[in-house]
A and B are shown apart, each in its own frame.
Chain A
Amino acid sequence: MQRNYYQEQIETMPPEQLRALQSEKLVKQVKHVYDHVPYYRDLMDQKGVRPEDIHGVEDLHKLPFLTKNDLRDTYPYGMLAVPLADCVRIQSTSGTTGKRVIAYYTQHDIDLWEDCCARAIMAAGGTREDVVQVCYGYGLFTGGPGLNGGSHKVGSLTLPMSSGNTERQIQFMMDLKATILCCTPSYAAYLGESLKERGYKPQDNALKAGIFGAEPWTEEMRRDIEKSLGIKAYDIYGLTETSGPGVAFECEEQKGMHINEDHFIAEIIDPDTGEVLPEGSRGELVFTSLDKEAFPLLRYRTRDICVLSRKKCSCGRTHVRMSKPMGRSDDMMIIRGVNVFPSQIETVLLNEGYAPNYRIEVDRVNNSDTLDVYVELTPDQFSDTVSAITAKERALAGAIKTMLGINPVVHLVPPKSIERSEGKAVRVVDKRKLHD
C-alpha cells in the first residue's frame, strides 16, 4: 500500500533513535528556557533543579510543571524566550476560560508547526493534487493559520474560507471540488445537515477526508459525519500553548493520534499528585516542547484526560499515540457529586438516534443540583400524541441516567431551535453560583 508521509524519516524513526533525538533536544531546550525565561528559572531554582541535571528524557520528571495559570500570570511577555524582534507572529486562545494566553512564534516555530499540520494532512491522504477547504477561524485562533500553513507545505490548493458563512462554504466546496475539509466537528456536522437540506447526497461532493479538531467529539459523531459527508473523518489535536493544531493527528488506522514526538514529549500524570503514570494509564496529558524558540513550554499541563499507547501502528509511524481526550478538567462538571463530561451525554444522544445538538443546563435548586438536557426532536421521532413524546423524553432520561448515574430532566425541543455554532459549540450552561 502506498504510504503517505510528509517527513517519512522522522515519522517512522525507530523508537530508540527517536528517544535519543528527544534527549538531545530536551537538554538544549531546558537550557534555552532557563537562560531566557526568568519565571521558569525561578520555578526550577525553587525545586533545586539545574539545567545540568537534565541529561535526557529520563530526567524530565525532575522539572516543575507549568499550568494555564502560570501563563496567565506572566501575560503578556513573561514566557517569551527570545527578543520580540525575533518573533514574527502571535496567536491567542479564545479566553473563554479566563484571561487570554498569547503564544509567540519565530519563523522557525511557524515552520515546525506547519510541518506538523502537513503531516496531519498527508496522514489523511492529502497530496499536492488535493483541494483543502479550511473553515477553521483565521486570525488569533490557531485552527485556520495552522491548517492553512500545513496545506501550503503539502502543496495542496488551499481554500482559506475561515469559519461561518455556510452558504459560501457550500458554494466553494461544490464549485471548486474540495477534497479535504478542515473545521470543528460540530461545524462538519452542521455542513452535512446543510448539504442535505439543499438536496445534496453524500456522494455529490468531492470530499474524501476531513480533519476535525479543536473541540471534544465522540466516535458516534465521527460515524455520523462520515456518513453525512461521505468521507473518512480524522481527528487532530493541539493547543495554542504548544503551537496549535497538529501536535497530534490520526493516521488511516483512526485509532488514536500520533504525537509529533520529535517536537513534543508527552507524559501522562495523575492530576492530583503530579506523579508520572505508566503507559496505558488514564491521566492528564503533559507536553514539553523540544525545539521551540519563542514560546517553549516545559511540562505544560493540558488539563486533557487521555491515555498514551506505544503499540506498533500499521501505518508505519513510530510516534506514540494518544487517545481522544476523554474530557477536560475545565469541561468536567460535578453534579450531585458525580463527574460528568458533556461528551458522555453526547454519546447517549447519538446512540438513541438524536442529533448531537443539545444544551446542558446545570442549576442548584434548594441546595440540590439539577441537570436539564435540551435536545432537538427529529422529524422521524415526532408523534401526534403527548404521551408518545413524553415517553421518548423519559426513555432518553433513562439512558442518560444509566450512563451518568444521575437523573436528568430531558426536554425535547423543535429542530433548529438550539443555536448552531460555527466555531466552538457552547453546550453547557452552569447557572449554579458556587463561588460568590
Chain B
Amino acid sequence: MSIRQLTVFVENRRGCLAGITDLLAKNSIDLRALSIADTKDFGILRLIVSDSEKALSVLRESGVLVQITEVIGVKLSDRPGELSAVLAALDRAGINVEYLYAFLTRTEQNAYVVLRVEDNEIATGILAKAGFCPVGEEDLKAL
C-alpha cells in the first residue's frame, strides 16, 4: 500500500520551480501535496499528483530529472498529538523516517501525512497494527 511520489531535481535558480509547476498545470495535472528540500545549489521537489504516470512522462519529455519514489501515507484526525503518536509507533519499531510532509483536504476533517521510510510494507503494517489508518494511492485519488 504505497503512494507514488514524483521526485524532481531542481536547480536553485530563479524560475526553475515555476517552470515545473507550469508544465504540470498546462497538462491539467493536479497537485495533492508537495514539499521541497533545498540546499544552496539545488532543491529536491517531492510531489503527490493526480496522475503520476502522466506527470512523469511530461516532465521527462522536457528533460527534467525526475524519478518515482514509493512512499507511504497515513490518514490522521486533525487534532494535536496525532502525528506524535504515529512517530512514536514507528520509533518503537525502530523505523527511521527519512522525511515527511503533511496536507489537509478541503472536505474532510482529516490530515494526511506522507512518509518516506526504508521499508514501506513493514511501516504500513506497524501503523495499521497501532490503530492508524494507512492510505494508498487510490485513497488519495478519491479526495
| Complex: chain A residue closest to B6, CB-CB | A384
Chain A residues near B37: list those with CB within 8 A.
385-386
Given contacts A377-B9, A412-B41, contact A382 B67 (CB under 8 A): yes
| A417 → chain B closest CB, angstroms | 7
B42 within 8 A of A: yes
State the CA gap A421–B9 with chains docked (Å): 24
| A384 touching B69 in the complex, CB below 8 Å, given contacts A389-B44, A390-B39, A411-B41 | yes
Q: 1/0 per position for A380-423, CB-CB distance to B under 8 A?
A: 00101110011000000000000000000001111111000000
User: Of B5, B44, B65, B69, which contacts A386 at CB under 8 A?
Assistant: B44
Interface size on B, as a range, is 20 to 34
What 0/1 readout, one digit per residue, does chain B (12-53) give for beta carbons within 8 Å of chain A? Answer: 000000000000000000000000011101101010000000
The smallest C-beta distance from B53 to any residue of chain A, in angstroms, reads: 17
B64 A414 Cβ-Cβ under 8 A: yes
A377 contacts B65, CB within 8 Å?
A: yes
Q: Is there contact, CB below 8 Å, between A415 and B63?
A: yes
Cβ–Cβ < 8 Å partners of A415 in chain B: 63, 65
Interface size band for A: 10 to 19
Give min CB distance, A397 to chain B, whole Å: 13
Instruction: Enumerate chain A residues within 8 angstroms of B74, measured Cβ to Cβ.
Output: none
**A384 to B44, Cβ gap below 8 A?**
yes
Say whether B98 faces chain A, with CB atoms less than 8 Å apart. yes
Shortest distance from the beta carbon of B46 to any chain A beta carbon, whole Å:
7
Given contacts A384-B7, A384-B116, contact A412 B42 (CB under 8 A): yes
Task: Say yes or no: B98 contacts A414, CB within 8 Å.
Answer: no
List chain A residues, Cβ under 8 A from B44.
384-386, 389
B70-110: which residues lie under 8 A (CB-CB) from chain A? 98-99
- Chain B contact residues, majority secondary structure: strand
Are A379 and B67 within 8 A (Cβ)?
yes
Find B5's partner among A384, A390, A416 (CB 8 Å cutoff): A384
Question: Nearest Cβ distance between residue B21 and chain A, in whole angstroms?
Answer: 16
Closest Cβ of chain B to A182, distance in Å, is: 29
A contact residues around B67 at 8 Å (CB): 379, 382, 384
Shortest distance between the CB of B72 and any CB in chain A (Å): 14
Contacts of B115 in A (CB 8 A): none
B46 contacts which of A379, A384, A412, A416 (Cβ < 8 Å)? A384
- Collect the chain B residues with CB atoms within 8 Å of residue A385's CB: 37, 44, 98-99, 116
Complex Cα gap A390–B65 (Å): 16
Q: Which A residues are CB-close (under 8 A) to B9?
A: 377, 382, 414
The answer to whether A413 touches B11, judged by C-beta atoms less than 8 angstroms apart, is yes
- Which residue on chain B has the smallest CB distance to residue A378? B65
Q: Which residue of chain A lies nearest to B63 when distances are taken between CB atoms in the complex?
A: A416
Flag if B116 contacts A382 (CB, 8 Å): no
Quick one: closest B residue to A410, CB to CB?
Answer: B41
Nearest chain A residue, comparing its CB with the CB of B64: A414
Tell me whether B99 and A414 are in contact (CB under 8 A).
no
**Bound CA–CA A382/B9 (angstroms):** 8
Q: Which residue of B lies closest to A393 (CB)?
A: B41
18 A-B pairs in the complex with CB atoms less than 8 angstroms apart: A377-B9, A382-B7, A384-B116, A385-B37, A385-B44, A385-B99, A390-B39, A411-B41, A411-B42, A412-B42, A413-B41, A414-B9, A414-B10, A414-B42, A414-B64, A414-B65, A416-B63, A417-B11
Question: Which 7 A-B residue pairs are closest in the complex by CB-CB distance?
Answer: A384-B7, A384-B69, A386-B37, A411-B41, A414-B65, A416-B63, A414-B9
